[in-house]
């Protein structure tokens, strides 16, 4: 069960995020990145955050803690920005909070070294949840206290926008050529061997229990929240054993950033034009 918190002060919008998340303070004296039910991306992106964030944390990947966060839109009354005011007005009630990592930096593949083992685990996980939002253009990775942290899973689980195709999607290839961690030689075999067996029915059920009923209740074609949870569990269970075989790490697109010099990364430099 995700912890319950309540927003007490809206601090500032995070303008770089497409869904206009905001930094808020809460009644537990914590600071959170709040993602709003009233944002254009809709509730399903919050469902994806809860499922993917919870699954990643249970698999031992670093994701900031997620909390249920209630909002009284009254806290936005003094907010001068009309876009923010409207978002807060449209988001009364239950929203999602993610522990804010103060002083974290956006991941820069040219300046931060990731081991093949860790890169493999992240790419394997992204294939499991079909996350296409971790490219080098928009890595959705933070570096905090010298470690890599995963954020922003709102665009994953794409099949939940078209449930009849969910089963077939388990067999589709996952193209990781542009993945932010592709240049680090992801060890996918090790990740599949370590993480695959952990994705059990119990683990999925525990993860899905964290999704608030009110975000699942009116999903068309389902009898109720537990039926929707079962569909997510089935789709993820089907994907876990095949993930490794479906991942392709082909040639990256031509405009990928060049490699950082070895003196910066501590990695041996490759001659330009050498195969990856």
**Residues binding ligand ATP (CB under 6 A):** 14, 16-19, 21, 33, 64, 98-101, 104, 106, 138, 140, 142, 151-152, 154
Looking from the CA of 180 toward its CB, the CA atoms found within 13 Å total 28
Output the smallest distance, CB 154 to Mg ion, in A. 8
Output the smallest distance, CB 125 to Mg ion, in A. 16
The residue nearest Mg ion at its CB is: 152
Residues in the chain: 276
Instruction: Round to whole Å and give the CA distance between 194 and 265.
Output: 27
> What does the binding site for Mg ion look like in residue numbers (CB under 5 A)?
140, 152
Looking from the CA of 272 toward its CB, the CA atoms found within 13 Å total 4
Cβ proximity to ligand ATP, 38 vs 243, nearer residue: 38
Write phi, then psi, for 12 (nearest 5 degrees): -165, 150
Output the smallest distance, CB 238 to ligand ATP, in A. 26
Residue 225, contacted partner among Mg ion, ligand ATP, none, CB below 5-8 A by kind? none
Instruction: Name all contacts of 236-239 with Cβ < 8 Å and 24+ positions apart.
Output: 236/51, 236/55, 236/128, 236/129, 236/199, 236/204, 237/199, 237/201, 237/204, 238/167, 238/170, 239/127, 239/128, 239/130, 239/170
Cβ proximity to ligand ATP, 99 vs 194, nearer residue: 99
Cβ proximity to ligand ATP, 87 vs 216, nearer residue: 87
Residue 104, contacted partner among ligand ATP, Mg ion, none, CB below 5-8 A by kind? ligand ATP
Output the smallest distance, CB 22 to Mg ion, in A. 14
Cβ proximity to ligand ATP, 73 vs 154, nearer residue: 154
Phi-psi group of 157: left, alpha or beta (phi > 0 → left; psi -120 to 50 → alpha; rest → beta) = left
């Amino acid at each position: 069960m995700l912890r319950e918190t309540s927003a007490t002060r809206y601090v500032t919008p995070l303008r770089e995020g497409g869904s206009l998340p905001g930094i808020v303070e809460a009644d537990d004296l914590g600071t959170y990145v709040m993602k709003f039910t009233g944002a254009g991306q809709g509730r399903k992106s919050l469902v994806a955050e809860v499922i993917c964030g919870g699954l990643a944390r249970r698999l031992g990947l670093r994701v900031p803690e997620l909390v249920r966060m209630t909002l009284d839109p009254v806290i936005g009354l003094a907010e001068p920005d009309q876009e923010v005011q409207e978002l807060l007005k449209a988001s009364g009630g239950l929203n999602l909070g993610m522990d804010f990592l103060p002083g974290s930096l956006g991941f820069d593949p040219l300046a931060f070294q990731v081991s093949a083992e860790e890169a493999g685990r992240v790419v394997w996980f992204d294939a499991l949840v079909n996350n296409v939002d971790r490219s080098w253009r928009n890595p959705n990775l933070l570096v905090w206290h010298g470690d890599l942290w995963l954020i922003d899973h709102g665009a994953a689980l794409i099949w939940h926008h078209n449930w009849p195709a969910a089963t077939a999607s388990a067999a589709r290839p996952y193209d990781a050529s542009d993945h932010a961690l592709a240049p680090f030689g992801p060890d996918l075999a090790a990740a599949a061997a370590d993480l695959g067996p952990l994705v059990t029915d119990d683990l999925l059920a525990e993860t899905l229990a964290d999704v608030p009923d009110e975000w699942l209740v009116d999903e068309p074609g389902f009898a109720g929240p537990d039926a929707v949870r079962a569909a997510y569990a089935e789709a993820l269970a089907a994907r876990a054993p095949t993930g490794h075989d479906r991942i392709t790490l082909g040639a990256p697109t031509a405009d990928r950033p060049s490699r950082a010099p070895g003196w910066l990364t501590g990695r041996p430099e490759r001659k330009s034009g050498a195969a990856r």
